[in-house]
Amino acid sequence: MVDGPGSWRSWHNLRREHEVARNAFVDEQSIRLVAKAVITAILIFAGLWRSALVLAALMFGTELMGRALALYGRVRRRDRRGVFLLGGFWMTLNISVISMITPSILLSTQGSMPLFVIGALWNLGLIFYVSIHFGTMPVHNLVTLGLLSAATFIVLWFSMTNDFLRGSLIESLACVVFLVAYNAVALHTLLRQNRISLALHQAKTDAEARLAQIEYIARHDELTGLFNRRSFDEALAAMLRDCSDRVPIWVVMVDLNGFKPVNDLYSHDAGDEVLRHVARRLSELAGPKGVVARIGGDEFILAQPAMPEGHAARSLIGTIASQLREPISFGVHQLRVSAAVGLAEASDPQTKVTTICARADQAMYRSKSSLDGVPAIYSPQWDARRNPLAQRTELIGAMRAGEIVPYFQPKVDMKSGRLLGFEALARWVRPQGDVLTPSRFLPAVEDAGLGGVLVNHVAGHVVRQLRTWQSIGFCPDDVSINVSEAALATEGGCTELLAIIADFPDRKRLTLEITEDVFFARPGDPVQKSIERLRAAGCRISLDDFGTGYASFRHLRELVFDEVKIDRSFTSDLGRDRSADVLVEAVISIADSLGLQVIAEGVETEEQRQRLMAMGCRAGQGYLWNRALSAREVEEVYGAGALTVKTFQSC
């Protein structure tokens, strides 16, 4: 038999009906057993004990057979087993229906008004039961209603042969017309229910497919199909939790050399082919237990469990460097690139993702700076000059001396240019005059275990700065503070943060930004409770870097947020990467439907602003308007002389 599209759809619908009927059969069995026991007792009471025993054997036998077939398993494929299960189950159901219809016919032939009424009510009850419980199963419903209609005509026929129930011909015709009309209405309702059920099922399927597409785009690099950085960090965090001295984890950083000339000389299509080729080779080398991501234009990162053989780490990075030097065919051309490769190893489950990646990055740069480009393996001796205790002391001293302070980057209404507020970003202003961004000192903060201390330090500065601004007559509508896992994963960390913000009475002007790192780095329940406590205190909660992973969508369902921030990696790719446009538009749509404010980070060009506004995003943040400014610079740019009524609300 040839399976055409129509044949396959019919089989799919029958299989879906079987699954619904199977579940309903099991769920409603106890009710049916009681009803069958009652009607069997009535038949015995009416003197029909032989018929009662035969019907009881059929009714209860089909219950046992149906239960066995239902528990045997689902119909998954159109094979011999699937056809046997589906056919056997439907045959059992039909025999069960016939055995349950028969008592109404037997009772209507006894010449007794009470028994006739019982039979008629039993038949009517079966019609209601089938119409209500099997509305989404048109095949079973049509067959069963057909049998019940036949039984109803038989009951009516016997009623006309009994003197006490005999009516006129017109009355009998009226009854027949009513029965036909009832079945027509039931059939129309059944078909309508089926259309609605199929439409809802299709809508659910489409929504799930759309969400799966969005989640895939959010987690993968479109060109190579590899993980993006956030997805890689999640996978690496899980691997690090399971690592040990016996099974350490290797992280390899790869940066291509000679990639830009390929783009310039042979076109971007050639460059894309190189990137895809590198992705395939790295995926093969990582194996089934490893994970590979593209984290930049020509940067890749790989993680895998260490191999036990001696010198295996050196062998792995040597193989990577060697294979990436092999020529890549592109039309009539042979493209050549090389790579700087660095490896770092982690055997402590407490190792941070940022720490091990920074070490691999350090090894990669050592390879890149060497004359012969030999792959490098990170050595703790490279950091021997950086004593951890001395580093911790230096960081604490910098905070106490007021060297680490918040800078404020404006958040702007993209249509009107009105200032909406600021994001507070930590900066280390060193005595020699240079200003370090978080990427320069956060790894050291985490290594020293000062993450929570830094959050509280910045939050305290922000609260004091807001009071200072209030004293000169203006208040930003909103100032957001980044909150790390250290302040959320423990009750003590959250309590300390609450004590700091408690000193600022107008807490609706404070927004706490949380990235999804905290959810996969620590257990979810303590973090969720901390978020609920902070929100109960009056602060707004923002989900930062939204769209960079599946967890973002899951957390929107589980927690209450006031705001989502679109990650700068997607903003920067607008108009250049189709997946970025699709994802950003979907994120804005989802957030808008949930009543959440959306802020796009990293807006640097007028084209990005226009695209975001066309998608429905109203707020932005980035160099298009201003970099992060010191408190004094904020006062000079947005202070008393520059402020307008539109810029800030009055205090």
| Segment 265-316, tens digit of pLDDT | 788 888 889 999 999 999 988 888 889 998 888 889 999 888 766 568 888 8
The fourth-level CATH superfamily of domain 388-631 is: EAL domain (3.20.20.450)
Q: What is the reported pLDDT for 17?
A: 64
d(Cα 476, Cα 545) in Å, to the nearest integer? 23
Share of the chain above pLDDT 70, in %: 74
Q: Check pLDDT > 70 for residue 182.
A: no
* pLDDT tier at 588, thresholds 50, 70, 90: confident
pLDDT tens-digit series, residues 5-30: 444 445 556 666 666 666 666 667 77
Q: Check pLDDT > 60 for residue 522.
A: no
> Do 508 and 471 meet the contact criterion of CB atoms below 8 Å apart?
no
Phi, psi of 142 (to 5 degrees): -65, -45
Higher pLDDT among residues 139 and 409, named by residue: 409
Domain boundaries, the chain: 5-211, 229-383, 388-631
Q: What is the reported pLDDT for 286?
A: 87
d(Cα 318, Cα 312) in Å, to the nearest integer? 10
pLDDT tens-digit series, residues 538-562: 888 888 876 555 445 666 666 678 8
Q: Within 10 Å of residue 462's Cβ, how many Cβ atoms?
A: 23
* pLDDT tier at 641, thresholds 50, 70, 90: very low
Higher pLDDT among residues 640 and 596, named by residue: 596
> Do 466 and 507 meet the contact criterion of CB atoms below 8 Å apart?
no
Higher pLDDT among residues 362 and 169, named by residue: 362
Average confidence score pLDDT of the chain: 77
d(Cα 529, Cα 516) in Å, to the nearest integer? 15
Over residues 188-199, mean pLDDT: 66
Pick the range with the lowest mean pLDDT from 449-453, 499-503, 576-580.
Answer: 576-580
Share of the chain above pLDDT 90, in %: 4
Q: Check pLDDT > 70 for residue 175.
A: no
Class of domain 229-383: alpha beta
Residue 546: partners with Cβ closer than 8 Å, 6 or more residues away: 552, 564, 565, 566, 567, 587, 591
pTM: 0.49
Higher pLDDT among residues 618 and 166, named by residue: 618
